[in-house]
Amino acid sequence: MLSGVNATRMELLRLRKRVALASRGHRLLSEKRDEISRQLIQIARHIQPLRKRVEAELLETCRRFMLARATMEPEDIKAALEVPTKKFSLALEFATIMNVKVPRLTKEISGEIICYGYATTSGEMDVALLALERAFDLLIELAEKEKQARLLATELNMTRRRVNVLEHVVIPELHETIRFIGAKLGEAERDNTSRLMKITDIIRA
């Protein structure tokens, strides 16, 4: 591989500049990798308890709806939920974490989730709908955090690969080529010195 390298001082200077650039890139990418790891750990710490809360709220919602069904007539349940009065919209924005675009979800909710009369409905229906509302809010937050975590994890893997390539392939190969050129230049310099000494001896003779 090194046999085709031009063993010149210009090439040596060019390779030394490349080593300096690669070393700087390695340092910057290492800092980026460490910061992404820190951000990812922070997000992951929020995800686990948040997921548990979502699961608990969804279980509570299902339980309350089952109780509501047991205490209400099917036609009353249908009539109570037939005309929604709560409106929901979701806005998607992006923030940047270490040059990684991550989503930020903003919800806009208007109206009341309880939109029926109380004559033919049970209190369990009220509790079930309020539990569903809480679970929905938590689901949006969980979706945002999990998407952020996936994007950061993907970027972290890419950054790690780049750091490893620079550290274990690019920089060592550049150093090896520099040593090779240095050895060739030293050998050529010694040959030139030997020839000059022989010429000097011939002249003196």
Average pLDDT score, the chain: 85
CA angle 146, 152, 155 (to 5 degrees): 145
What local confidence, expressed as pLDDT, does residue 111 receive? 67
What local confidence, expressed as pLDDT, does residue 145 receive? 92
What local confidence, expressed as pLDDT, does residue 119 receive? 65
Confidence band, pLDDT 50/70/90 cuts, at residue 205:
low
For residue 164, the domain's CATH number is 1.10.287.3240
14 or 189, which is more confident: 14
What is the tens place of the pLDDT at every residue in 150-160? 999 999 999 99
Question: Per-residue DSSP letters for 100-160?
Answer: EEEEEEEEEEES-S--S-SSS--HHHHHHHHHHHHHHHHHHHHHHHHHHHHHHHHHHHHHH
Asked whether residue 201 is assigned to any structural domain, the reply reads no
Query: Which residue in the block uniquely carries the two structure tokens 């390298």?
Result: 5
Asked whether residue 199 is assigned to any structural domain, the reply reads no
Asked whether residue 202 is assigned to any structural domain, the reply reads no
What local confidence, expressed as pLDDT, does residue 9 receive? 87
- Does residue 26 carry a pLDDT above 80? yes
% of residues, the chain, pLDDT over 70: 93
Asked whether residue 205 is assigned to any structural domain, the reply reads no
85 or 162, which is more confident: 162
Asked whether residue 204 is assigned to any structural domain, the reply reads no
Owning domain of residue 161: 2-194
Confidence band, pLDDT 50/70/90 cuts, at residue 3:
low
Indicate the number of domains in the chain: 1
149 or 196, which is more confident: 149
d(CA 191, CA 187): 6
What local confidence, expressed as pLDDT, does residue 136 receive? 84
pTM, full prediction: 0.74
Asked whether residue 159 is assigned to any structural domain, the reply reads yes
